[in-house]
Structure 1
Amino acid sequence: MTGGWESDAQTAWRQQPELGSPSVVTEGDISTVTFYWRDPTGTELTSPIRRVWIYITGVTDHHQQRAPQSLQRISGTDIWQWQIRLNAGWRGSYCFIPSRNENDFSAAALQNPPDRMALREGWRKLLPQAIADPLNPLTSWRGGRGHPVSALHLPQAPAQPGWSDKAAFTAPRCLTWQSKRLGNQRRVWLFTTGESEPERRPLAILLDGQFWAEQMPIWSALQAETDRGHLPPAVYLLPDVIDTQHRSEELTCNAEFWLAVQEELMPMLSEQTLWRDDPATTVIAGQSFGGLSALYAALHWPQRFGCALSQSGSFWWPHRQRTGEEGRLAQQLKQGELDASPLSIYLEAGLREPVVLHANQHIYPLLQNAQSLHYRLFDGGHDALCWRGGLINGLVTLWQPVRALSGVIDGTE
């Protein structure tokens, strides 16, 4: 490490308290991103920190067969930094994991290429120690594994309408669904964005409701896009998954769960509010296992759920470890057991989630006879920061006929 390089890095660092971290320099379609972390225990002479692992969804995580990456200390300072070049259209979440160990990963995770499962296990053990970037001015949240993460939007990343707005909205109601069929109970959030003609409002069921209600609240974004006329006034129902075990059981092609939704949850909803009870405007939306479950529900009960919004759908299920073997939904579609023709479908997947991307690319051609089919790729990983924009975009796309009938579309959109 040269003295000149250290001087340049320290000069750049002095600007960070004002500019925020990370630093982004974009030339053409490529951004050079520099991450900084300041060691609260001082320099290498006083600090026990030996590594500051950087976990970037879809870039340095287990989805990529790449050795674990650590920030490097600038000698004689409390500053750690790490740099990477990314496409300027990338968006994603990240966190730091300071560690007192020189190496927290097994030999299998460090070989070239790393063993994916060993890498996954190493990160799983480390993530409980993760911290959000204290210099990042954007709001942090807790990712899918419960660890804090920070947001990074590169300059050419797709717009995410509604998410930067602070729209006034009526607070959602939190109900309790006691299911006899499933033998459990959970919270369910009910949110509406218009009362003038309640019987004309379409319905969207947003799976992983606890995430969109609490960890990354969606209410203001939905209201802002409704106020702009991009979304029609609507009813949103957000069921909690209870916990990880219930999620992996209920959101993986589980008929009992969806029968309970139809026999118990929908009647409960009818006691609370009015909506347009029409499969052509009823959306099931979900991510990962939720994306799998959304398409599963629409394919099996098109007379009830006519629209599926699947983001990073886990269509590999149940064969994650069996390369070359089709997931269950793909097998059933190929064999003619399921028919997509009555449905409107919106699929999206990230370019940096290889297993999910491959499964989505495989199932997409099998859905070509759908009434309408939209497929979108984004430069990102298995990441709610990407999904939040696609969720709004998907609802806008699937409900465009509703807006047209309501006279919302003005010909310029």
Structure 2
Amino acid sequence: MTTLTTGSEAWWQSKKGPEWVREKGNYRVTFWWRDPKGTQNTSTVKRVWLYITGITDHHQNARPQSLERIPDTDVWQWQGEFSPEWRGSYCFIPSDNEHDFADAVFEDAHPDRLALREGWRKLLPHAVSDPLNPQSWRGGRGHAVSALEMPDAPVQPGWDHPDTPYQPPVCIEWNSTRLDNRRRVWIFTTGDDSPERPLAILLDGQFWAESMPVWSALTSLTTGHKLPPAVYVLIDVIDIEHRSRELPCNPDFWLAVQEELFPLVKKHAPFSDRADRTVVAGQSFGGLSSLYAGLNWPQRFGCILSQSGSYWWPHRGAQQDGLLIEQLRTGEKTAHGLRIVLEAGRNEPLIFRANQAIYAELQHTQQPVIWRQVDGGHDALCWRGGLTQGLMILWQPLIHSRSLYGIQ
């Protein structure tokens, strides 16, 4: 067998993204990046920062990691250890500056969290996906990322059939009087038209419509009778400023959804008004918002899918609980009658602890709360599987409803 010279054209052609080998129950993964400007003699690149969600990202109180150049080549590499079930996204950030982070970030094993976040905040707009990896997309923060999935990563229902044909969604404009703004809303339907079809509201709708389209996954699960025929409403956040104002516990947003958006959607696709057939699904601020909607309007939103909910809000990093946790603890909110799926990643420490706290408070209510821990971080690559799995769990009683399939 011919050994290829590291950095040669033939060697690069053999690379298809990260490579891994099994070591003592885990996998040692090697990441590669090709310097387009060549070797250290011709390139100005000093660092290639590696941002792995849940491993080297800003949620971890750990030193930033950079790939290292193999001398006299255009090859940069980095190795790390991952569990067999690991799933997550990553990106590269090439830099001509050796000092992108404050010196304090490298002076201790646990760097200053604010300095660390500030360094990543400046770098991430310059991130690039892995050109060797065909599984790449634009993440929620606007930069390109790529997928890393270990051999034993859990199956993500529906996403394993990306070529399933589907009926394209309808995209409408919603001009809100109450919110005094305008945004896109996608309406996606599966199965035959029926006023009894359940409804799912997907927050951060622009992501699930454009960056990581959910259409084939939902269609595949519906044709396989793992999801009932349904109406899906994907709501655009407009921008980061509107997202930060409307999603965290904002009553006007949810009143506008009920009073303005629902009648608008019904002109295009009939759906059931029953709370036990209505799912609100969201991630991060959207996860917080989904439970907030259920706690405040349980007569309309009866099924809650909260992924990596930001239950620390509004006290980021403070030694006190978030608003919903406090209100549940003092009895100002009740989750009686709701069906709730909570999910968080073990590699998103602050959010994981906040979700454990909200789960503990919800345990005092009378209905079951399903708690799912994910071997991953604050990551849409993990959320996509939890989204379809959560819909299956929450709509399980409907899947066996013969009338939803038009069978008498």
- TM-score normalised to structure 1 length: 0.93
Query: Could you say which residue in structure 2 is the equivalent of 1:73?
Result: 69
Query: Could you say which residue in structure 2 is the equivalent of 1:64?
Result: 60
Pick one of 183, 186, 194 that aligns with 1:189. 186
How many Å separate the matches in 1 of 2:382 and 2:176? Answer: 32
Pick one of 194, 198, 201 that aligns with 2:194. 198
Query: Could you say which residue in structure 2 is the equivalent of 1:379?
Result: 375
| Secondary structure of 2:14's aligned partner | helix
Query: Could you say which residue in structure 2 is the equivalent of 1:247?
Result: 243
How many Å separate the matches in 2 of 1:97 and 1:13? Answer: 23
Q: Kindly indicate whether the alpha-carbon contact (under 8 Å) linking 2:88 and 2:379 is maintained by their aligned counterparts in 1.
A: yes
Q: Structure 1 residues 14, 362: closer, same or farther in 2, change over 3 A? A: farther
Tell me whether 1:350 sits opposite 2:333 in the alignment. Answer: no
Q: Kindly indicate whether the alpha-carbon contact (under 8 Å) linking 2:311 and 2:358 is maintained by their aligned counterparts in 1.
A: yes
Q: Kindly indicate whether the alpha-carbon contact (under 8 Å) linking 1:229 and 1:408 is maintained by their aligned counterparts in 2.
A: no
| Secondary structure of 2:397's aligned partner | helix
Q: Structure 1 residues 15, 347: closer, same or farther in 2, change over 3 A? A: farther
Query: Could you say which residue in structure 2 is the equivalent of 1:3?
Result: none
Residue 371 of structure 2 aligns to which amino acid in structure 1?
Y
Shift of 1:407: 8.1
Query: Could you say which residue in structure 2 is the equivalent of 1:4?
Result: none
Shift of 1:406: 2.8
Q: Kindly indicate whether the alpha-carbon contact (under 8 Å) linking 2:59 and 2:348 is maintained by their aligned counterparts in 1.
A: yes
Query: Could you say which residue in structure 1 is the equivalent of 2:146?
Result: 150
Residue 357 of structure 1 aligns to which amino acid in structure 2?
F
- Most deviating of 392-401 and 265-274: 265-274
How many Å separate the matches in 1 of 2:235 and 2:386? Answer: 19
| Secondary structure of 2:260's aligned partner | helix
How many Å separate the matches in 1 of 2:224 and 2:25? Answer: 31
Identity %: 58
Residue 50 of structure 2 aligns to which amino acid in structure 1?
I
Shift of 1:24: 1.4
Aligned ranges 1:9-408 → 2 under 5 Å: 10=6, 17-27=13-23, 29-112=25-108, 113-138=110-135, 140-165=136-161, 166-195=163-192, 198-323=194-319, 325-368=320-363, 369-406=365-402
How many Å separate the matches in 1 of 2:84 and 2:293? Answer: 36
Shift of 1:141: 1.1
Residue 323 of structure 2 aligns to which amino acid in structure 1?
R
How many Å separate the matches in 2 of 1:376 and 1:86? Answer: 20
Residue 281 of structure 2 aligns to which amino acid in structure 1?
A
Shift of 1:155: 0.9
Can you list the C-alpha shifts for 1:223-268, whole angstroms capped at 9, x where unaligned? Answer: 0111111111100001111110110010000001101111111111
- TM-score normalised to structure 2 length: 0.94
- Most deviating of 369-378 and 295-304: 369-378
Q: Kindly indicate whether the alpha-carbon contact (under 8 Å) linking 1:53 and 1:96 is maintained by their aligned counterparts in 2.
A: yes
Shift of 1:110: 2.0
| Secondary structure of 1:200's aligned partner | coil
How many Å separate the matches in 1 of 2:122 and 2:9? Answer: 31
How many Å separate the matches in 2 of 1:47 and 1:229? Answer: 55
| Secondary structure of 1:187's aligned partner | strand
How many Å separate the matches in 2 of 1:152 and 1:239? Answer: 28
Which blocks of at least 5 consecutive residues in structure 2 are unaligned?
A: none
Q: Structure 1 residues 406, 264: closer, same or farther in 2, change over 3 A? A: same
Shift of 1:370: 4.7
Can you list the C-alpha shifts for 1:187-226, whole angstroms capped at 9, x where unaligned? Answer: 100000111x512311000000001001111001100111
Shift of 1:19: 4.6
Q: How many residues align?
A: 400
Shift of 1:9: 9.2
How many Å separate the matches in 2 of 1:71 and 1:252? Answer: 37
How many Å separate the matches in 1 of 2:78 and 2:71? Answer: 14
Which blocks of at least 5 consecutive residues in structure 1 are unaligned?
A: 1-6
How many Å separate the matches in 2 of 1:9 and 1:206? Answer: 49
How many Å separate the matches in 2 of 1:381 and 1:13? Answer: 35
Residue 219 of structure 1 aligns to which amino acid in structure 2?
W
Shift of 1:17: 2.8
Residue 336 of structure 1 aligns to which amino acid in structure 2?
G
Q: Kindly indicate whether the alpha-carbon contact (under 8 Å) linking 1:29 and 1:89 is maintained by their aligned counterparts in 2.
A: no
Q: Kindly indicate whether the alpha-carbon contact (under 8 Å) linking 2:4 and 2:11 is maintained by their aligned counterparts in 1.
A: no
| Secondary structure of 2:263's aligned partner | helix
Structure 1 residue ranges, 4+ long, deviating more than 4 angstroms after superposition: 11-16
